[in-house]
Structure 1
Amino acid sequence: MGIYVDGYVLPIAWNKLDEYKKMAELAGTVWKEHGALAYMECAGDDLEQKEMVSFKQLTGANEEETVIFAWVVFESKEHRDRVNQAVMADPRLAGMMNPDAHPFDCKRMAYGGFTAIVDL
């Protein structure tokens, strides 16, 4: 079995980006401490695509928003399940469990788990 990746894509207002970054830094620290192999959060800055569907189109982001593209890497799906269970129980993230406390709209976030098919 190869690595397993949880991926996230979400639109966020530019003026909420600093608040989101603080939240993501804490989340990343917690995920890594509980065993995630890697944690990455990226804010889009080159999203205007004419030849294909852009991330802004995909997420419905407006002109005041950018797109967060993020992923967490695990040893396997089973490892992901164990790590995520520990992360969700970690008291440092208790404040993040309320969707109303987020600097973005959780209903506009896309999430999925992915089996790596190429890992170079």
Structure 2
Amino acid sequence: MAYIDGVLVPVPVAEQENYAAWTARVSPLFLEYGATRVFDGWGDDIKDGKINDMRTAVVAAQQENVVFSWIEWPSKAVRDEGWEKLMADPRMNESGQPPFDGTRMIFGGFAPIVDISIKNGNPS
């Protein structure tokens, strides 16, 4: 069964292009080590919550935006092995310093409980 890594990270608005370039450099490594998809989305419609929201969850400053990312893997076993190889791959360090404060990044692994999509016009 598929497995998903989910990520929220605050990125300075002025660093949007640098973030996109950085993630374009590292994302192919995830695919090389077994991921089937890497997605990064720049916050476009993030509402303020009454108690918590995406911005407060990552302690985003006024001049920062939230990036929502996920990495799809065919299974948790492939994901665990892939991450181990990624962390040992020197190309990860060669990709440059990420343009965000990683100490405020929130991430975790998720086992799907519902997975419905439209393919060729039919729910699957």
Q: Normalised by the size of structure 1, how large is the TM-score?
A: 0.85
Instruction: For 2:45 and 2:115, locate their aligned partners in 1 and report how far apart those are by CA, in whole Å.
Output: 25
Number of equivalent positions: 116
Q: Which residue is equivalent to 2:109? A: 113
Q: Could you tell me whether the CA contact under 8 Å between 2:34 and 2:74 is conserved in 1?
A: no
Q: Which residue is equivalent to 2:99? A: 103
| TM-superposed deviation, 1:6 | 0.8
| TM-superposed deviation, 1:93 | 1.3
Q: Percent identity?
A: 31
Instruction: For 2:32 and 2:67, locate their aligned partners in 1 and report how far apart those are by CA, in whole Å.
Output: 22
Q: Which residue is equivalent to 1:35? A: 34
| TM-superposed deviation, 1:49 | 3.8
> Within the alignment, does 1:70 sit opposite 2:69 as a pair?
yes
| TM-superposed deviation, 1:75 | 1.3
| TM-superposed deviation, 1:88 | 2.0
Larger Rg: 2
Matches within 5 A, 1:1-120: 2-49=1-48, 53-96=52-95, 101-120=97-116
Uncovered stretches (5+) of structure 1, i.e. residues with no partner: none
| TM-superposed deviation, 1:89 | 2.5
Instruction: For 2:74 and 2:105, locate their aligned partners in 1 and report how far apart those are by CA, in whole Å.
Output: 24
- Cα gap change, 1:86/1:67 in structure 2, threshold over 3 Å: closer, same or farther? same
Deviations 1:58-83 (A, max 9, x none): 22212211001001111111110111
Q: Normalised by the size of structure 2, how large is the TM-score?
A: 0.83
